[in-house]
Chain A
Amino acid sequence: MSNYILECKDLTKTFGRVKAIDNVTLSIPQGCIVGLLGPNASGKTTLIKLCNELLTPTSGEIYIAGLKPGVETKKLVSYLPERTYLNDWMKVADIINFFSDFYADFNKEKAYDMLKRLNLNPGDRLKTMSKGTKEKIQLILVMSREARLYLLDEPIGGVDPAARDYILQTILGNYDQSATIIISTHLISDIETILEHVIFLKEGRVVLYKTVDEIREESGKSVDSLFREVFKC
């Protein structure tokens, strides 16, 4: 078995004439939290969707735990998309049953525990909930799995600072150190301290891949300030 949980080899994805991902080669080890950083439209979401087989690569290859994306890798990967996919007609309890039916690694107790801490009732209908609450429920579903790789696309995108703290605490609190979490975001300062590695993505290319402390040691700057420098308009 490979030591890397995620490997991309010469990965390219084009939409029409636009190269969303441009010849990316990347290896991410097991047991770390990685920030996938880049401005809007730099290819973060595209890369994550390619790993989930929601997009088909134009060329190049992806391996997850040494396997090509498919049913076996989907058992290992827990994915939080940047949009809500919950069925409005379901109750919270229905969607929890759905997840525990399909994912062998889903921990129902954990999910109910997290719901309780948010004062959410399992009998509540998703229809009645705000967008922010739905996003929290989706995060609970995703973090209640005991997966090997978590792909979180903009988990702190449109939420207020208090919710952001809750989300980061939820991610950290459920993180098992043998798993890998990849978090895409452009809000770096909020998340910098929980990252170990960062990847800067610019126009579909990897322009930097280092640990947070390496960056701080070498440049004497936070990742956030380095980011502002690299992506200066």
Chain B
Amino acid sequence: MPWEFRSDCPIYAQLIEKIEQKICSGVYPPGTKLPPVRDLAQEAAVNPNTMQRALARLEDVGLLYTHRTSGRFVTEDTDLIRQLKNRLVQEHIRDFLEKMRQLGFGREEILAAISRIMEESKDE
């Protein structure tokens, strides 16, 4: 199944997001070897050069590293992954809060809604 992309921002940026998500959620655990660029590109149905660019950015920030001959790996630096998680959590919650504010919810209402819905979904 090709990956889904939004139309309002560059594809390589969205690829970075998706791979970060996979590292974060453990689909790609620390130290695992990533599939070759070509296969990843085919899986996502994107241009290999675009995929290459996204992976290079992730390498720049240290989330991935290349072993000279054996390929590309997810970092084993769990601190770095924790930082990534923190960043993503912050981003998503900020987005969420922004939306709630636009809907006119206040601080207390948001917190109440969150605990209520979490309580409800526990039963499922």
A-B interaction:
yes
Chain A interface residues (CB < 8 Å from chain B): 31-33, 165, 168-169, 172-173, 175, 177, 193-196, 212-213, 216-217, 220-222, 224-225
Interface residues of B in 36-50 (CB under 8 A from A): 38, 41-42, 44-50
For A31, give its contact among B7, B38, B49 (CB under 8 Å): B49
B10 within 8 A of A: yes
Kindly state the separation between the CA atoms of A222 and B48 in the bound complex, as whole angstroms. 19
10 A-B pairs with least C-beta separation: A222-B7, A213-B10, A216-B10, A193-B46, A196-B47, A172-B42, A196-B49, A217-B10, A194-B47, A220-B8
Chain B interface residues (CB < 8 Å from chain A): 2, 5, 7-13, 38, 41-42, 44-50
- CB–CB B48/A193 < 8 A: no
Kindly state the separation between the CA atoms of A168 and B44 in the bound complex, as whole angstroms. 11
- CB–CB B46/A222 < 8 A: no
- CB–CB A212/B11 < 8 A: yes
Kindly state the separation between the CA atoms of A196 and B8 in the bound complex, as whole angstroms. 16
- CB–CB A172/B41 < 8 A: yes
- CB–CB A193/B11 < 8 A: yes
Kindly state the separation between the CA atoms of A216 and B14 in the bound complex, as whole angstroms. 11
For B47, give its contact among A173, A193, A216, A224 (CB under 8 Å): A193
The main secondary structure of chain A at its interface with chain B is: helix
Chain B: CB-nearest residue to A176: B38
Given the interface contacts A165-B2, A216-B8, A216-B9, does A33 sit within 8 Å of B42 by beta carbon? Answer: no
Give the interface centre of A173, A196, A221 by most chain B CB atoms within 10 Å: A196
Q: What's the nearest-Cβ distance from chain B to residue A180, in Å?
A: 11
Q: Specify which chain B residues have a CB less than 8 angstroms from the CB of A175 in the assembled complex.
A: 38, 48
Q: What's the nearest-Cβ distance from chain A to residue B60, in Å?
A: 17
Count of inter-chain pairs, beta carbons less than 8 A: 59
For A33, give its contact among B8, B9, B12, B47 (CB under 8 Å): B47
Between A and B, 19 residue pairs with Cβ closer than 8 Å are A32-B47, A32-B49, A33-B49, A165-B45, A168-B45, A175-B38, A175-B48, A177-B38, A193-B11, A193-B44, A193-B45, A194-B46, A195-B47, A196-B50, A212-B11, A212-B50, A217-B10, A224-B7, A225-B7
- CB–CB A177/B45 < 8 A: no
Chain B: CB-nearest residue to A169: B42
Q: What's the nearest-Cβ distance from chain A to residue B41, in Å?
A: 6
- CB–CB A216/B11 < 8 A: yes
Given the interface contacts A193-B2, A196-B50, A213-B50, does A221 sit within 8 Å of B7 by beta carbon? Answer: yes
Given the interface contacts A31-B49, A196-B50, does A173 sit within 8 Å of B9 by beta carbon? Answer: no
Kindly state the separation between the CA atoms of A177 and B47 in the bound complex, as whole angstroms. 10
Q: Specify which chain B residues have a CB less than 8 angstroms from the CB of A222 in the assembled complex.
A: 7-8
Q: Specify which chain A residues have a CB less than 8 angstroms from the CB of B42 in the assembled complex.
A: 169, 172-173
Q: What's the nearest-Cβ distance from chain B to residue A228, in Å?
A: 11
Q: Specify which chain A residues have a CB less than 8 angstroms from the CB of B9 in the assembled complex.
A: 216-217, 220
Q: What's the nearest-Cβ distance from chain B to residue A225, in Å?
A: 6
